């Protein structure tokens, strides 16, 4: 009985995928212009050719590295900034407008501005960091604010050190908010980093390959590289979800959006 729901979900996903692949194929056949809409088979063949080339793996590896650097830096700085802005109201007053501007402004604007300031190879990682930072800051700040005040009063009564309060009270309270921010931020890290690569075109990057495929009207390559981005993003998100599920199960923390 327990296997039936899982099997049903797998069949549903496969059925949905087949439906949309069929729609894609029919549109490609009707248009009959490979330069406009290639068939799924053409894209699959192109991807098969790409993976045999060293350039593919170099581009994927370095893009992945840029995303991971920006994402990890945003997690670390976001947590630190949340701790400081919830502790000191002046810092919250100073940083809050900046972080809200980052959330509201178009990614392309930051990419263009950043190109003036730093080396283009570092732009994708920095943009990834910049887009994820507000997500982490807002979620972790909320987690800190929702820490049980009664537990804090009890800790003060029993004269627990600040380190023990952080470890035993704040961390369990903040953890679900932090994990949610990490999961939500990962997709933003990918999209913003690849968008930055398309504009600044660093050597050995998925964004550069996308831009060059577009310039030379190699539409199957554009589709293939886009599929690579989607697949990598889904795989990393799945890995992160598995890690967060394991982390939550250890303490039984609930998820807060």
**Nearest CA to 202 among 67, 23, 88?**
67
Do 26 and 66 fall within a single domain? no
Residue 67 lies in a domain: yes
Residue 257, domain member (yes or no): no
Shared domain check, 12 and 56: no
Residue 222 shares a structural domain with residue 130: yes
In this predicted structure, the answer to whether residue 147 has a pLDDT above a threshold of 80 is: no
In a domain, 94, yes or no: yes
pLDDT confidence of 255, banded at 50, 70, 90? very low
Residues 103-122, mean pLDDT to the nearest whole number:
85
Tell me what the mean pLDDT of segment 34-55 comes to: 90
Q: Domain holding 177: CATH number?
A: 1.10.3720.10
Residues 79 and 105 in one domain: yes
Chain centroid to CA 233: how far? Answer: 7
Domain that holds residue 3: 1-32
Distance CA 240, CA 173 (A): 20
Q: Are residues 28 and 49 in the same domain?
A: no
Mean pLDDT to the nearest integer, 85-90: 88
| pLDDT-based confidence at residue 248 (cuts at 50, 70, 90) | low
Residues 124 and 90 grouped into a single domain: yes
Lowest pLDDT segment from 5-14, 106-115, 121-130: 5-14
176 close to 143: Cβ distance less than 8 angstroms: yes
Q: 189-225 pLDDT, tens per residue?
A: 998 999 999 998 888 899 999 999 988 888 999 999 9
Q: Please indicate, yes or no, whether the overall pTM of this predicted structure exceeds 0.75.
A: yes
Q: What are the residue ranges of helices labelled H in 32-122? A: 40-50, 54-87, 89-104, 107-117
Q: Residue 256 domain-assigned?
A: no
Q: What is the pLDDT of residue 193?
A: 92
Q: Looking at the 3D structure of the chain, how many domains does it have?
A: 2
Structural tokens at position 67: 């995303």
Length of the chain (residues): 257
Upper half-sphere CA count for residue 49 (Cβ side, 13 Å):
9
Instruction: Specify the pLDDT at position 75.
Output: 94
Residues 235, 242, 256: CA angle, nearest 5 degrees: 110
* Mean pLDDT for the stretch of residues 223-240: 88
Within this chain, do residues 102 and 27 fall inside the same structural domain, yes or no?
Answer: no
Domain identity same for 81 and 119: yes
Round to whole Å and give the CA distance between 173 and 186. 22
Residues 28 and 120 in one domain: no
Regarding whether 144 and 182 lie in a shared domain, the answer is yes
Give the residue carrying structure tokens 């400081």.
84
pLDDT category, 254, cuts 50, 70, 90?
A: very low
pLDDT at residue 159, as a whole number: 67
Could you tell me if 116 and 141 lie in one domain? yes
Residue pair 41/183 in contact by the 8 Å Cβ criterion? no
């Amino acid at each position: 009985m327990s296997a039936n729901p899982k099997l049903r979900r797998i069949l549903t996903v496969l059925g949905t995928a087949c439906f949309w692949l069929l729609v894609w194929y029919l549109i490609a056949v009707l248009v009959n212009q490979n330069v406009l809409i290639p068939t799924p088979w053409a894209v699959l063949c192109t991807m098969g050719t790409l993976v045999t080339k060293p350039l593919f793996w170099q581009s994927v590896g370095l893009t992945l590295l840029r995303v991971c650097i920006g994402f990890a830096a945003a997690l670390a700085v976001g947590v630190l900034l949340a701790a400081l802005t919830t502790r000191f109201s002046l810092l919250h007053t100073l940083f809050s407008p900046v972080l809200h501007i980052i959330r509201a402004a178009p990614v392309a604007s930051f990419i263009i501005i950043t190109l003036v300031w730093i080396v283009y190879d570092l732009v994708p990682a920095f943009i990834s960091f910049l887009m994820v930072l507000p997500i982490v800051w807002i979620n972790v700040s909320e987690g800190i604010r929702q820490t049980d005040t009664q537990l804090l009063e009890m800790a003060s009564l029993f004269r627990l050190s600040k380190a023990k309060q952080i470890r035993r009270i704040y961390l369990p309270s903040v953890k679900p908010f932090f994990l949610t921010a990490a999961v939500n931020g990962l997709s933003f890290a990918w999209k913003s980093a690849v968008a930055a690569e398309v504009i600044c075109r660093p050597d050995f990057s998925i964004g550069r390959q996308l831009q060059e495929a577009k310039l030379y009207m190699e539409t199957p390559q554009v589709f293939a590289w886009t599929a690579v981005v989607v697949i990598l993003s889904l795989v990393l998100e799945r890995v992160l979800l598995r890690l967060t599920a394991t982390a939550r199960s250890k303490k039984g923390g609930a998820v807060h959006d």
